[in-house]
Amino acid sequence: MLGYWKPHKEYQAYVEEKLSQIASILPEIVREYETAISKLYLLDLDYLKPIIEPLYSCMGRKSEYSRLTFD
């Protein structure tokens, strides 16, 4: 089951909220990971949902990908 897909705008709001909390306590950590955080903040994967969603059941069975065998 794919589960809840958080839209990119919602993800960005979540990141902003959490970063402000972390930055108030440990600003050096936020600065240390600034490049990685920026890349993930900008990476919008919303267009992938319609591509991968058919691979997952809405009833909880394993994904189609996990059924593939690689000989």
Each residue's pLDDT tens digit, 28-46: 999 999 999 999 999 999 9
pLDDT tens, per residue, the chain with 71 residues: 678 899 999 999 999 999 999 999 999 999 999 999 999 999 999 999 999 888 887 776 665 666 555 55
- Quick one: pLDDT at residue 4? 85
Q: Which amino acid is it at 3?
A: G
Instruction: Say what the pTM is.
Output: 0.69
Nearest-5° Cα angle at 55, 41 to 39: 10
Structure token pair of residue 4: 């809840």
Instruction: Quote the pLDDT of residue 56.
Output: 80
